[in-house]
Amino acid sequence: MSQKWSALAGLLAVIVVSGLLLSLSSCARDKQLVAITIQPASGTFLSPEATGSIQFTAIGSYIHPPVSSDITNQVTWKSDVPGIVNIIAGTVTTTGSGCGIANISASTTQGTGHSGNLVIGYATVTVNDPTVLSCPGGSVGQGSVLVAVSGNGKVVSVPSGINCPGTCGALFSIGNQVVLNATPGSGATTVLWGGACMGTTGNSCAVLVGIKPVTATATFQ
């Protein structure tokens, strides 16, 4: 009888250990990249011929288990206006060819488990030129409005130009008012404004375009 119980106990032990190993293996396979945050959210060059560079860092947020790590060298970096800035491994420099706002992105499909969707993070780069009226910083020309979004939601401007995430910066005539309208996405119900919109309640924030970049943040909760 004791030998039978001993054999049964051994079998149970093998089953338990096997279950734990399978569970750990499953957890490893389920590791998923769910978000990319670019730090800083924006950067500015004072002229198209500015020397030096701005270094952006891509921070990946994972689940199973929840962890954040630097994935700057693992993502694909792009600019929607390659004519005014170059970007290599998160390092941005000007091309010397003009001014404006470039929306840069860091994207990847890397990860394990069931992660297969493209994950993208965004930031903005402003190239000023105070000698050209139509450039950001021009004395009577255009100024930039930048938005940094975190959480699930989007911000759209009136007049049009900003549709963030995606297009998170745009040029508007200096002295004009731009209204930023926030729409919470799935799982979010409210928006917390910061930066130029600090203290604003509700889903809309009005900002005045100036010579210096106007930066607002929208955190969806």
Specify the 3-state DSSP secondary structure of 145: strand
**Alpha-carbon distances of 209 from 97, 133, 172, 173, 216, rounded to whole Å:** 24, 14, 7, 7, 12
Residue 98 lies in a domain: yes
Both 158 and 68 in a single domain?
Answer: no
Provide the Cα torsion 41, 100, 92, 33; round to 10°.
Answer: 40
Specify the 3-state DSSP secondary structure of 23: helix
Residue 113 lies in a domain: yes
Query: Residue 122, Cβ neighbours under 10 Å: how many?
Result: 23
Both 119 and 158 in a single domain?
Answer: no
Residue 34 lies in a domain: yes
| Domain termination residue (choose one: 78, 103, 129) | 129
pLDDT of residue 213: 87
pLDDT of residue 156: 97
Both 95 and 159 in a single domain?
Answer: no
Question: Domain range holding 159?
Answer: 131-221
Residue 5 lies in a domain: no
Both 188 and 102 in a single domain?
Answer: no
| Domain termination residue (choose one: 113, 129, 145) | 129
What's the full length of the chain, in residues?
221
Both 148 and 117 in a single domain?
Answer: no
Where does the pLDDT of residue 201 fall: very low under 50, low under 70, confident under 90, or very high at 90 and above? very high
Residue 9 lies in a domain: no
Q: Is 126 in contact with 54 (CB distance < 8 Å)?
A: no
Residue 45 lies in a domain: yes
pLDDT, tens digit, 9 for 90 and up, residues 144-190:
899 999 999 999 999 999 999 989 999 898 888 999 999 999 999 99
- Give this prediction's pTM: 0.69
State how far the Cα of 64 lies from the Cα of 66, in Å rounded to an integer.
6
Residue 157 lies in a domain: yes
Both 35 and 124 in a single domain?
Answer: yes
Both 217 and 181 in a single domain?
Answer: yes
| Mean pLDDT calculated for residue range 39-63 | 93
Both 142 and 189 in a single domain?
Answer: yes
Both 168 and 182 in a single domain?
Answer: yes
CATH number at residue 184: 2.60.40
Q: Are strands 163-164 and 169-173 parallel, antiparallel or unpaired?
A: unpaired
Peptide bond into 40 cis (omega under 30): yes
| Overall number of domains in the chain | 2
Both 203 and 150 in a single domain?
Answer: yes
| Domain termination residue (choose one: 129, 144, 166) | 129
Retrieve residue 200's tokens. 């604003």
Specify the 3-state DSSP secondary structure of 14: helix
Both 135 and 82 in a single domain?
Answer: no
pLDDT of residue 143: 86
Both 122 and 36 in a single domain?
Answer: yes
Specify the 3-state DSSP secondary structure of 13: helix
Provide the Cα torsion 153, 156, 161, 163; round to 10°.
Answer: 20
Peptide bond into 213 cis (omega under 30): no
pLDDT of residue 136: 79
73, pLDDT greater than 90: yes
- Residues linked to residue 180 through DSSP beta bridges, in sequence order: 157, 205
Residue 19 lies in a domain: no
State the amino acid at position 59 in one-letter form: I
